[in-house]
Homo-oligomer: A and B are copies of this chain.
Amino acid sequence: MSLLVTGSIAIDSVETPHGRVDGVLGGSSVYFSLAASLFSEVRLVGVVGEDFDMDLLEPLREKRIDTRGVEVRPGSKTFRWQGKYTGAMNEAETLDVELNVLAEHGAEIPPDFADTDYVFLANTHPSLQRGFARQFPNAKLIVCDTMNLWIQNEPDELRRILSAIHGLVLNDAEARLLTGQNNLVVAGLEILKMGPRFAVIKKGEHGSLLVSHDDLFVLPAYPTQKTIDPTGCGDTFAGAMMGYLAAKGSHDPDTLRSAMARGSVVSSFVIESFSVEALASVTIDDIEQRLKQLQAIARFE
């Protein structure tokens, strides 16, 4: 099945207890598509400004990523994010953000991409997500991410997009905020009432949870000992998950479970280095090896 992602392409500067990097490639659609490309071809749709050094996309071009949907917008500047992780590194502190192109109109979906089967709408304003969703009338699966900003400031717009999609991926704090429920299973069930057929709740180092009409699944995170930079882990998780689903052409409960397990493992590589370093070099064999370890680590009688 064909797979497409809409999301940000960013220039990141990140500081963690293990070091810092400046002006590196980031953004939700970048992490997503690199992770998804391990399993499937991916169509990337996003916007950069005329200041963007296109050589930064080299790691993507070496993969099964179709970058024809990357628009270079004259007169605009690329989205820039500067963040810092401290302590348990569960949440980034944003030191500076320049929305630039992200504050303008959304990306154009190339006409060739309108037939996409599996679509992931990374976090952005829910009305933009709705505009994207409308352009894939024949999609077999549309999955969204969102964030606290939209849950708090755009609840009506968010409800509209939720009623039009098949799956929602969000973190535990967002699930609690969206539903007013502290118990994450109950929160997941509340999300299903808003429209999606499944909710994937990400819990960082604690793994993830799938709640759907047919299934309840708890997955531990791969227990890496090396937490260098968590930037992009959530989008990586979603990318590997969607890439696996697209490759299998199914999102039945067992396939969704397997897809989330790939998401957990691929993001465990991403957290072990800065920016997209790991995604540029990790192989499917590396992933299968950690997947076996994760199964062994989680087994009990």
Contacts and interface: CB of A to CB of B under 8 A. Distances in A.
A115 interface: no
Interface string A281-301: 000000000000001011111
Q: Which 6 A-B pairs have the closest CB atoms?
A: A206-B206, A218-B220, A257-B300, A88-B182, A261-B300, A185-B225
B176 A218 contact: no
Contacts of A189: 225
B183 A300 contact: no
Among A223, A260, A301, max chain B CB count under 10 A is at A223
Contacts of A176: 88
Interface in A205-238: 205-207, 209, 216-221, 223-227
Contacts of A206: 203, 206-207
Interface of A: 87-89, 176, 182-186, 189, 203, 205-207, 209, 216-221, 223-227, 254, 257-258, 260-261, 295, 297-301
A298 B182 contact: no
Contacts of A203: 206
Contact of A220 (B88, B220, B227): B220
A223 B227 contact: no
Given A206-B203, A207-B206, A220-B218, A227 B300 contact: no
Contact of A300 (B182, B217, B297): B217
Contacts of A220: 207, 218-220
A298 B209 CA distance: 10
20 contacts: A88-B176, A88-B182, A89-B182, A182-B227, A183-B225, A183-B226, A183-B227, A184-B223, A185-B223, A185-B224, A189-B225, A206-B207, A207-B207, A217-B297, A218-B297, A219-B220, A219-B300, A257-B299, A258-B300, A258-B301
Contacts of A297: 216-218
A3 to B, nearest CB: 21
Given A185-B223, A220-B220, A258-B300, 5 more contacts: A183-B224, A184-B205, A185-B225, A189-B225, A257-B300
B219 A298 contact: yes
A105 B254 CA distance: 56
Among A89, A207, A221, max chain B CB count under 10 A is at A207
